[in-house]
Amino acid sequence: MAVGLADPSMPDTGGRADIGPMPAWAAVYLLSQDPRAKRVTLGTADAAGTWQIHYRDKKTGRPVSLADYPYMTILGNPGDAVNQSTGKSEAFPDCAGDCSSPNQPDSAHQPSFAYLPYLLTGDRFYLEELQFWASYDMFQSNPYYRDFEKGLVHSDQARGQGWSMRTIGETAYITPDSDPMKGYFVERVGYNIDWYNAQYTKSASANPFGFITNGSTVSDGKIAPWMDDFFTWSIGHVVDLGFDEAAPLRDWKAKFQIARMMDPGFCWILGSVYHLSIQDPTTEAAYSSYSEIYAHTLEDSGYDPAVLSAPCGGPEMAAALGLQEGEMVGYSTSAEGYPSNMQPALAVAAGSNAPMAKEAWDRFMARSVKPDYSSEPQFAVVPR
């Protein structure tokens, strides 16, 4: 039941090598072509089969499908799994014997184990692993939250939505056309993109800033912008995989990363802050400008009040923050820090149709303190 270099307890907090667009060791292999890194990448993907997310339909021999079992779930009360049309429960059978495991899966911290190995080898084991993880990302939630057979992921944390969209998108893209599940996964990507487009890009009531607020994203008036960055990168990745219907969502999302670097009411040094205050925690009234968001974020995060009046990026601000001049907050030297988390999203933004995208990227790349990506390049993503 070993899992190679991955963390056996996915919900563990903090940055680590297996979290990112792909794990650090897989990115190292792509960049180096070192056979040792290849062995680690394939070996960890093999070992990922030990997580308890594999549910196969004995009738088809394939991963379970929400199209066949729209009420199946591993979360919720027993009645939630009862199909209202048939009156039958679609709950998974009880485990026979001791089915405890030292490993704990979690969509919010889910690594990309199998996509690159399948791309490189064509080994069906990795394809099925992708399909199992994509299925888990959808059926793990309550059927009423995910809209039953549609497999919507919008009720998750922002990072969970991001990594789930990555996995479902990669599965839909790379499942061969001849595979009976190809159309199924393509449909689920479409259902999810349709939901986000209806909620944001086509909605007059959507916030003007480009951050998502659905699911478990807003807490005490704050959001975690780095989680939102994961989601932005994932949507850009889905567009790159050929799902053009996600392009409007990518362009809408890109506004958030660009504004944190370029809006005159918000200093880009704080673009990688851990929490961003977006609404009054008591009344839930949304703040109407980046100036408001900036001022409340500084106050709510306990920053020195001198930061608010200091010239953006200057020596006074650096002194007040305890940073070097031109250094962004959030562990700028770390390959797993919040500026690093922001980089893939900014790279997606730079390739979008959003205004000021190139200028935002150029400012980000001109910051004074950057990480050493040589051993952990999982966030070292650049625009095409």
SS3 readout for 71-128? CCCCCCCHHHHECCCCCCECCCCCCCCCCCCCCECCHHHCCCCCHHHHHHHCCHHHHH
Question: For residue 316, what are its two tokens?
Answer: 């006074």
Lowest mean pLDDT among 68-72, 97-101, 228-232, 308-312: 97-101
Q: pLDDT band for position 298 (50/70/90)?
A: very high
Q: 18 pLDDT exceeds 90?
A: yes
Note whether 196 and 313 are same-domain residues: no
Count the Cβ atoms, other than its own, within 10 Å of residue 265: 12
Write out pLDDT tens, residues 98-133.
888 899 999 999 999 999 999 999 999 999 999 999
Calculate the average pLDDT of the chain: 96
Q: pLDDT band for position 51 (50/70/90)?
A: very high
Q: 72 pLDDT exceeds 90?
A: yes
Q: Quote the pLDDT of residue 98.
A: 86
Give the end of a domain, one of 206, 233, 255. Answer: 206
Note whether 164 and 219 are same-domain residues: no
Query: How far are the Cα atoms of 92, 105, 110, 138, 333 from residue 101, in angstroms, in the given order?
Result: 17, 10, 17, 21, 36
Give the end of a domain, one of 189, 206, 223. Answer: 206
Q: pLDDT band for position 97 (50/70/90)?
A: confident
| Rounded Cα gap, residues 187 and 172, in angstroms | 8
Q: 124-131 long-range CB contacts below 8 Å, 24 or more apart?
A: 125/46, 125/49, 126/45, 127/174, 127/175, 127/176, 127/179, 128/63, 129/45, 129/48, 129/49, 130/167, 130/170, 130/171, 130/174, 130/175, 131/62, 131/63, 131/171, 131/175, 131/181, 131/185
Q: pLDDT band for position 204 (50/70/90)?
A: very high
Q: pLDDT band for position 209 (50/70/90)?
A: very high
Note whether 108 and 134 are same-domain residues: yes
| Vertex 215 angle, CA 210 and 220, to 5° | 80
Whether 95 maps to a domain, the answer reads no
Number of domains, the chain = 2
Q: pLDDT band for position 315 (50/70/90)?
A: very high
Q: Quote the pLDDT of residue 183.
A: 98
Note whether 252 and 350 are same-domain residues: yes
Q: Quote the pLDDT of residue 93.
A: 84
Question: For residue 360, what are its two tokens?
Answer: 């935002």
Spatial neighbors of 372 by CB under 8 A, at least 6 apart, are 333, 335
Whether 94 maps to a domain, the answer reads no
Whose CA is closest to 116, among 4, 187, 31, 196?
Answer: 31
| Rounded Cα gap, residues 192 and 65, in angstroms | 16
Note whether 221 and 200 are same-domain residues: no
Whether 99 maps to a domain, the answer reads no
| Rounded Cα gap, residues 161 and 181, in angstroms | 22
Q: 74 pLDDT exceeds 90?
A: no
For 35, phi then psi, to 5°, come to -60, -25
Q: Quote the pLDDT of residue 94.
A: 82
Query: Which DSSP state fits 368?
Result: S
Give the mean pLDDT of 343-352. 97
Within a 13 Å sphere around the CA of 103, how many CA atoms are in the beta-carbon half?
A: 19
Note whether 36 and 161 are same-domain residues: yes
Q: 31 pLDDT exceeds 90?
A: yes
Query: 354-363: b or e for each residue (b if 16 or more CB lie within 10 Å)?
Result: bebbeebbeb
- Dihedral of alpha carbons 258, 286, 229, 302, sign: positive
Residue 215, phi-psi category: left (phi > 0), alpha (psi -120 to 50), beta (remainder): left
CA dihedral 19, 109, 331, 295 (to 10 degrees): 140
Whether 92 maps to a domain, the answer reads no
Whether 57 maps to a domain, the answer reads yes
Whose CA is closest to 236, among 21, 12, 6, 87?
Answer: 21
Please identify which residue in the block is written with the tokens 């027993």.
Answer: 78
On the 0-12 / 13-18 / 19+ scale of CB atoms within 10 A, 97 is exposed
Residue 278: domain span: 211-384
Whether 43 maps to a domain, the answer reads yes
Q: Quote the pLDDT of residue 339.
A: 98
Give the end of a domain, one of 206, 222, 245. Answer: 206
- Dihedral of alpha carbons 261, 267, 271, 272, sign: positive
Residue 12, phi-psi category: left (phi > 0), alpha (psi -120 to 50), beta (remainder): beta
Please identify which residue in the block is written with the tokens 């009420």.
Answer: 71
Q: Quote the pLDDT of residue 278.
A: 98
Whose CA is closest to 274, among 202, 204, 333, 226?
Answer: 226
Q: pLDDT band for position 1 (50/70/90)?
A: confident
Whose CA is closest to 104, among 19, 11, 22?
Answer: 11
Write out pLDDT tens, residues 265-285.
999 999 999 999 999 999 999
Note whether 285 and 259 are same-domain residues: yes
